[in-house]
Amino acid sequence: MPLDQTRTPYFQALLEYVDSGVLPFHTPGHIQGVGMDLAFREFVGDNVCAIDLTPMPGIDDLLQPTESIREAQELAAEAWGADHTFFLINGSTSGNQCMMMAAVNPGDKIAVPRNSHKSMLGGLVMSGACPVYMAPEVDEELHMDHCVTPETVAQTIDEHPDLVAVYLVSPTYYGAAADLASIERIVHGAGKLMLVDEAWGPHFHFHPALPLSATAAGADLCINSTHKMLSAFSQCAMLHQKGDRIKLDRLKAVLKMFLSTSPNLPMVASLDVARKQMACDGAALLSHAIELAEEARRRLNRIEGLYCFGEELQGRKGVFDVDPTKVAVTVKGLGYTGYEASHLLRHRYNIQVELADLFNVVALFTIGTTREAAERFVTAFEEMARDDRPVDMYAPSGILEQRLNRGNYRLPKIPPMRMLPRDAFLAPAEFVRFKESKGRICAETISPYPPGIPVLAPGEEITRDIIDYVRLELKAGIRIQGPYDDELKVIRVVRE
Ligand SMILES: Cc1ncc(COP(=O)(O)O)c(C=O)c1O
C-alpha cells in the first residue's frame, strides 16, 4: 500500500517537543535560542532555534533511526523510487565518499569520469580504490564538457574487465544528462556496480519533462543534493539505494562513520519537508519552474550574441537529455567572458548567478524562482546586449585566444597515475615551487573553481601542460580549490 506522502513525521516530532514545554537541560547550548546572541536570534527567528535540538526520547536518531526518521526515510525512498534512502547532512560531498566506501575496497578498480566533482577524489582517498578515468565528451562549440557516453563506458569495461564499479556524474553542472538507461544495461550486464552522482538532479524523479532519474534507471546507489535544486537547507542531501548488489550492512556502517552524532535537526527536518513537497506538489511546482526557464531561454536566444542551449542539444555526444531548469547562457558573442558577465549581473543589476566560467554563466530556475525574477534576469541581458562594448575577446591579455587555440580548452590531458590516490595523499610530502614541479607526483588535489573539476589528483604526475593550464587559470583570476597554498606558488608533492 502506498505511504501517506502528506506526512512529515520528523518535522512533526520536533514540533511536538516544542509544544510539550519540556524544560531543556541538553545540547545545543543555546537552549532553544535563550542563550543565543540576540541580533542573530532575532534575524534567524525563534522557531529555528526552538527546533534546533538533539536526539532524545521522542526525537529519533539519524545514526540509529527507529521512529520518525526511519519513517521519513521510508517515505523518501518511496518518493524517489528507491529501496532505501538515507538522509545526509554534509551534502553530496559526503554522499560521494559514502558511495565509494560502501562499494569498493582498497585496490578495487572503479571507472570514474574525469569531470567528477572533487568529492569523488575524497572517496578514492578514503576507500583506497584505483580510478580508471573515463573522458567526458568535450563540446568545443559551447566550451564545456558533457557526460560520458554508453560507448565510453562499454569500452572502459572492455579494457578493464576487472572493474568492480562504474561511477557516473549525471547531470553535469551545466544540465546535460547521460543515457543512464543504456549505461545501466551495459554496467549491470557486465556484472559491475553502478553508482551515480546525481547531485544536480534531485528533481528529475518528479516531472516527465526532466531527464530519467538515476533510481528509475536502476543505479545501485545514487546521491542527490536536495539543497541544490529543491527546498532543503544547504548541506542536505540524500543517498538512494536500489537492488541487492550493495551490501546494506556495509552501507549502514559507512553512513554511521560519516554522520555527525549531533546532526542539525532543522536541516534533517527540511529534508522531510522537501520530500513531502515533491511527492505532493512536485509536478506542478516543477512545471512552473520549467515554463519560466523555457520562456527565458526563448527570449535570451532572440538576443544577438547570446546562446542558451536547450533540448536541441539532445543527441550531441555526451548529452542524452537536458535539464531545462539550468539556464546556461553562452555570452562570448557579446564580447564578455562569463566572469565579466557574472560580475556585471551582480554589480549593475544585483543578480547573482550560480556559476560563471570563461564563456558561460549558469542560472538555476528552481521551484523558488518567481516570474518577476525571471523577467529581471532576461531584461538584464537585453540591456547588456544593447551596451556598446567593443568585442575584445581576444585582447588585451591574449588569455582567451590562448584558451581557444588549445583545442581542448578546459581539461588538459589526464596525466599518468604514478601512485594510488590514497597512497600519494598519505605519503610523506614536501612543497616545491609549482612552476618547477614538472615530473613530481602530486599529493593534493588541484581543481580550478568553478566548476570544481580536478586537473590533478593525488598520485598523478605533474606535467608541463597542466602547469601551463593552471597558471593561465590563475592569471584569469580563477580560484584554485584543493591546494594547501591558495595561490599555488608551491604545490604539495610526494617526497622523493
Ligand atoms: C557533481 C557534483 N557532485 C557533488 C557535489 C557536492 O555536493 P554538495 O555541495 O551537496 O556537498 C557537487 C557540488 O557542487 C557537484 O557539482
Q: Which of 170, 221, 225 maximizes ligand 1 atoms within 8 Å of its Cβ, making it the mutation to test the pocket? A: 225
Is the backbone peptide bond immediately before 396 cis, with ω within 30 degrees of 0?
Answer: yes
Q: Which of 90, 96, 117 maximizes ligand 1 atoms within 8 Å of its Cβ, making it the mutation to test the pocket? A: 117
Q: Which residues pair with 139 in a beta bridge?
A: 144
The phi, psi pair for 172, rounded to 5°, reads -80, 175
Instruction: Please give the distance of CA 255 from its chain centroid, rounded to a whole number.
Output: 19
Place of cell 552522482: 197
CATH of span 412-494: 3.90.100.10
- Tell which atom from ligand 1 comes closest to the C-alpha of 227: 10
Q: What residues are in contact with ligand 1 under a 6 Å CB criterion?
A: 91-93, 96, 117, 119, 169, 173, 197, 199-200, 225, 237
d(CA 350, CA 362) in angstroms, rounded, equals 16
Q: Which residues contact 425 (CB under 8 A, 6 or more apart)?
A: 125, 443, 444, 458, 459
Dist. CA 207 → ligand 1 center (Å): 22
Q: Which residue has the least CA distance to atom 13 on ligand 1?
A: 117
Is 438 within 8 Å of 395 (Cβ atoms)? no
Q: Which residue has the least CA distance to atom 4 on ligand 1?
A: 92
Dist. CA 193 → ligand 1 center (Å): 21
pTM across the whole model: 0.94
Radius of gyration of the chain (CA): 23
Q: Please state the length of the chain.
A: 496
SS (H, E, C) the chain: CCCCCCCCHHHHHHHHHHHHCCCCCCCCCCCCCCCCCHHHHHHHCHHHHHCCCCCECCECCCCCCCCHHHHHHHHHHHHHCCCEEEEECCHHHHHHHHHHHHHCCCCCEEEEECCCCHHHHHHHHHHCCEEEEECCCEECCCCEECCCCHHHHHHHHHHCCCEEEEEEECCCCCCEECCHHHHHHHHHHCCCEEEEECCCCCCHHHCCCCCCCHHHHCCCEEEECHHHHCCCCCCCEEEEECCCCCCHHHHHHHHHHHCCCCCCHHHHHHHHHHHHHHHHHHHHHHHHHHHHHHHHHHHHHCCCCCEECCHHHCCCCCCCEECCCEEEEECHHHCCCHHHHHHHHHHHHCCCCCEECCCEEEEECCCCCCHHHHHHHHHHHHHHHHCCCCCCCCCCCCHHHHHHHCCCCCCCCCCCECCCHHHHHHCCEEEEEHHHCCCCEECCCEEEECCCCCCECCCEECCHHHHHHHHHHHHCCCEEECCCCCCCCEEEEECC
Which residue numbers in the chain have pLDDT < 50? 394, 396, 405-408
Dist. CA 92 → ligand 1 center (Å): 5
- Tell which atom from ligand 1 comes closest to the C-alpha of 235: 10
HSE-CB for 52 with a 13 A CA cutoff: 18
Q: Which residues pair with 479 in a beta bridge?
A: 449
Beta strand 490-494 pairing with 479-481: unpaired
Q: How many CB atoms lie within 10 A of CB 280?
A: 13
For the chain, give every domain's residue range. Answer: 283-386, 412-494
Dist. CA 128 → ligand 1 center (Å): 21
Dist. CA 93 → ligand 1 center (Å): 6
Dist. CA 212 → ligand 1 center (Å): 19
Dist. CA 73 → ligand 1 center (Å): 21
Dist. CA 226 → ligand 1 center (Å): 10
Q: Which residues pair with 94 in a beta bridge?
A: none
- Tell which atom from ligand 1 comes closest to the C-alpha of 197: 3
The phi, psi pair for 251, rounded to 5°, reads -60, -45
Output the CA–CA distances (angstroms, integers) from residue 63 to 71, 73, 452, in the order listed: 14, 12, 30
Q: Which CATH superfamily is domain 283-386 in?
A: Aspartate Aminotransferase, domain 1 (3.90.1150.10)
Dist. CA 194 → ligand 1 center (Å): 18
**pLDDT confidence of residue 149:** 98
Q: Which residue has the least CA distance to atom 15 on ligand 1?
A: 117
Place of cell 549593475: 348
Q: What is the pLDDT of residues 12-45, one digit of tens each?
A: 999 999 999 999 999 999 999 999 999 999 999 9
- Tell which atom from ligand 1 comes closest to the C-alpha of 237: 10
d(CA 239, CA 425) in angstroms, rounded, equals 26
Question: Most distant CA pair in the chain: distance in Å?
Answer: 68
Q: Which of 97, 118, 167, 200 maximizes ligand 1 atoms within 8 Å of its Cβ, making it the mutation to test the pocket? A: 200
Dist. CA 96 → ligand 1 center (Å): 9
